[in-house]
Each structure stands twice: as structure tokens, then as C-alpha cells.
Chains A and B, each alone.
Chain A
């Protein structure tokens, strides 16, 4: 009887409108949240290409700087500033040879005869991505180990060797080749034997052991001053957007493609956040709409509700019907949204798994959906009871003893 009476107070179009907007809002919310969790490991995996989380930076070379070479060096202040950035874990300066170097090969069967001018740089050993026993310098032996970037070999094999009709070389072969290094400067001349002991993916330079370079710079160096034009920087989190922002502001260039990827990650995250906010707005609007509708219903049927109260129905009992209706609709809408968002997830996971390694993220949409159901139902129940109570109670209540 009570239900029959209260059912007539409802407006079906308002209920359908609420159910629909909540359903749509919840789908978007759940899909964006779930998508974020699903792609997060992929994004991290990708940025893990930066296994060491480091990159080499230098200053951008402009027309002005080509005229004043001093401007390509980092000042002490700049290095200190860089070191103090929140994203910087550690930095290491590149040291350059300040003497003239040339290299030449002996005629062998496996390697072509060559003569070239060279440069040397060094960084602290801990930043090297090459593991070899030969990477040490012994002052008593005239031997210098060298590490070159892997892409130099690729350039030779696929570019130079191809066009000159020269043999291609494997890393192993080239490591066997011994060649001569001649160092001159400061009025002195030094002759050494050398070998390429490793290939680096990380550092784009011709490296020699740091202790050798320090010694050689003293011995053969033209200038006593140590200038730094390149810095290896280690990050806490290479996807940090502040890194790019800082580098752009200071006009530093960074030779890591992965920072481009972090740009992409940033845009993707921003887009997801934007969609998430829109979904929240839709849900908030749907909730506001249904609360407003409910208030209109109780205002419109004020007399009926007061009469029910006056013949002995408690305000809790009167509110129960509306609480039940709104709870069921909220539950059904969000449950359907959970179901649909799962279908959507399945379809995008299928696509993602063809592009990336399989993702084993548990489905959290269910829990977020449940949490949303719980919070909304709790809020409605409190609100509806309060509003009905306000409507049916006489304005001045009193307690009888």
C-alpha cells in the first residue's frame, strides 16, 4: 500500500535520465582508471630502456656559439645548479683530451689500413655500460684500451665499408685488431698500442680510462684548465616532465630519444586525466540531478508524506522506499558500467598484447565500481533520511518527560 502510494510520486523520465548519465559517467571513469593502470607498466617498461636512467647533455650550438666557442662549456655555477635539481640523482662530467691524437693500423688481413685523427674523452667508470677486464690503464705498459659507441661500428659496416668496398667487421673481429696511437702536445710525443675493448650504447664518444686521460692531459695537455662541454646526468625518474622543461628553459640539448617518449607519456597521462575529470563531472552532474529531482518530489508530495507521518509512519520508513529505489538504480547502473568497461578492457587488452608483452594487471574496475556504489548509496541514504525528516517533522519538536 505504502509502495503503491509512493510509486506514484516518482517521475520515470527523471529516474531513467539519472540511470543513463550515471551509467555513461561510470563507464568512462572505470575505463580511464583501468586503462591507466593497464598501460602504466608498459610505459615504465619503455622508460626502462633508460636502464641506468641517465642521459648525456650538452649545450645547444647556435650561430652565436660557433663564433664564441667558450659558450658551449658549462660553467661551475651551471653544473652546481644542475646537480641541485630535484630530478638529478647524480652527474658526471666528461673530460676531454687537450692534446692531439692520431691512430693508424698495421696492415693485416682482417682490418683495412687506416690513419685518422682522433679525440678522447673519459667519464667515471661506474657510468659505463661495458663490462670488460681490459678496461684499465697500467702506466708501465704502453697500452690504452678504448671504448667506442656501437653505432660507429654500424656506420662503418653499413655505410662506409659498403661504399668503399671494404670488408665488414664484427665486434669480435674489431676487438682483435691492434692499432697504434700517437699522442702529441706540450712539445712531447708518445706512442702507444691500443685495442677497442668494448662498444657502448650509452655514451656517444671515444672513451679512454679516466686515470689515463688525467695523466695524459698533464703530460701532453695544451691547457691546464679543465672545461666541461658534456655532462652525463643520472635521473631519479626519467619520465619526469620537469626534466624537459628545465632543459628547454636552459637551452640544453639531450641526446636521448627516450625523453621524447616521456613527452608522449606526459601527453597521454594529461589526456587520461582530462577524460577522468570529465567522467567525474558527468557523475557529479548525474548525482546533483537526482538529488534535485528527489527534493522536487518530496516538495511536490509534501502533504502526502506529512500525512503518512501523521498516521504513524516513521520518517525512516517513509524514506525507505526512496532509498531503496535510488540504491537499486545506482547499483544496477554501475554494475552494468563495470560489465561494459570489462568488455572494453578485453578488447583493448587484445590490441595491446599484440603490441607489447602480455599484461598481467588484475582487474581493479570491479573494486573501484563497488567503492563508487558504496559511497553513492551511503550518501543518498543519509541525505534522503535527512530531507524527509526535515519535511515531515513539525517545525518545533519537543521531548516529553
Chain B
């Protein structure tokens, strides 16, 4: 799958704010399956916006986003083509760690219960598996949100500042898992971040 952006410009940003951007208001920007992209920018430059535009959560932009898949709506891609790790996590505090992940997995039955359990253990949350998410720390929640996003088939993985609350050890563990999953699925990766200090090898870096 290829995602192409044509003259995409947020309705709520001025020309001055997007000046020098390698994505906004450009005639064509392509994201190809199997490649890793890093989008960097300072706060308030629309990093979350660009991922939300691609995922279809935010439609307040001019221009076009075209998916090479034959689909009527971007919403149809969410189950099997595009997965998204939200900056605000969007977890369900009333459900346990396992239930939050299983809620997503139930949609596609992509992973077995054992696989989910072993992933939870891998990110050092084995002892919190049946704890309500509302009782977790922000860093723990972030790990749950990442695991949840991996429990579906995808051709693109969108990550919105996914490691902001994680320490180096945890970042290493998580990036290993992400690398593994992306490689297994042959998927593309689009990540936004404030800087470039993660051990993911990016094919392309774009400045917003």
C-alpha cells in the first residue's frame, strides 16, 4: 500500500506556521509500505495532526490523502491496514491490561491469547495483566497502548510520540518488539517525535 499526500494543509494553521515543512502544502508526499519514516518537529507544529489526517480522525485540512487500497472509506482500513498508537493512548480505564488488548484483538483475532500474554510479559507488565488500566502509571499505560496497536494485521503503523514516558530500557524492549512486528508484517512505519534519538533505523526523515 502507498499513502500519498497532495497539498495537505491543516485548516487551522497559517502559512507562516507551515513554512519550511517537508510535508504540509507539498504537491506530493509518498509513504510506502515496508519503509520507516520519522516526522520530526517541535511542539505545536502539527505532528499529531498529520497522523490524525492519515488515520481519518481529523478531517480539517485542505488537499487530498490517497490510499492505494481500493476502499470507500479510511475507516475500513483501520482493522487490517493501518494501526495507530495514539499520543493520548485512548485506553479504556475500566478494563484490565489484558482486556484492553483483547478488545482490539477481538476485532481481527490476529493474535492468540498466549501470544498476547507473552508480549505483556516481554514489556515487563506480566504482574499487571489483570490490573485495571486506570491503576497503571503513564509509562505502563503507554506500553499497553503499543501492544494493543500491534494486535492486528497492518501495512502501516502510525506512532505518535510513542516513547515519551518510557525509560531507555523500556524503549529498547518496545522498539525490539515493534521492529519485529513491522518486519513480520512487511509493514511501513510512520512515527512522529521531537528528536531522533531512538534505535529504529529510519529510511526517511521528514521535517514538519
* Given the contacts A5-B92, A394-B58, A311 and B66 also touching, CB distance less than 8 Å: no
Q: How far is the CA of A1 from the CA of B95 in the complex (A)?
A: 8
Residues 92-130 of B contacting A (Cβ, < 8 Å): 92, 94-95, 99, 102-104, 106-108
A312 touches B152 (CB 8 A): yes
A400 touches B71 (CB 8 A): yes
B interface residues, how many (CB within 8 angstroms): 32
Residues of B with C-beta under 8 A to A5: 92, 94-95, 103
A1 touches B71 (CB 8 A): no
Tell yes or no: B67 within 8 A of A by CB. Answer: yes
Residues of B with C-beta under 8 A to A400: 64-67, 71-74
Residues of A with C-beta under 8 A to B86: 310
* Given the contacts A304-B92, A312-B79, A4 and B66 also touching, CB distance less than 8 Å: no
* Nearest neighbor of B107 in chain A, beta-carbon distance: A312
Residues of B with C-beta under 8 A to A2: 103, 106
A-B contact count (CB 8 A): 60
* Nearest neighbor of A317 in chain B, beta-carbon distance: B107
Tell yes or no: B185 within 8 A of A by CB. Answer: no
Q: How far is the CA of A304 from the CA of B74 in the complex (A)?
A: 20
Q: How far is the CA of A309 from the CA of B92 in the complex (A)?
A: 13
Tell yes or no: A307 within 8 A of B by CB. Answer: yes
Q: Distance in Å from the Cβ of A313 to the closest Cβ of chain B? A: 7
B75 touches A314 (CB 8 A): yes
Q: Distance in Å from the Cβ of B208 to the closest Cβ of chain A? A: 21
Name A's B-contacting residues (CB within 8 A).
Answer: 1-2, 4-5, 8, 304, 307, 309-314, 394-401
Known: A8-B94, A397-B73. 15 other contacts (CB 8 A): A5-B92, A5-B95, A5-B103, A310-B57, A311-B148, A312-B79, A312-B107, A313-B107, A394-B56, A394-B57, A399-B72, A400-B64, A400-B67, A400-B71, A401-B66
Name B's A-contacting residues (CB within 8 A).
Answer: 55-60, 64-67, 71-75, 78-79, 84, 86, 90, 92, 94-95, 99, 102-104, 106-108, 148, 152
26 A-B residue pairs with CB within 8 Å:
A1-B95, A1-B103, A2-B103, A2-B106, A4-B95, A5-B94, A5-B103, A304-B92, A307-B92, A310-B90, A311-B78, A311-B90, A311-B103, A312-B78, A312-B108, A313-B107, A314-B75, A394-B58, A395-B60, A396-B59, A398-B59, A399-B72, A400-B67, A400-B73, A400-B74, A401-B66
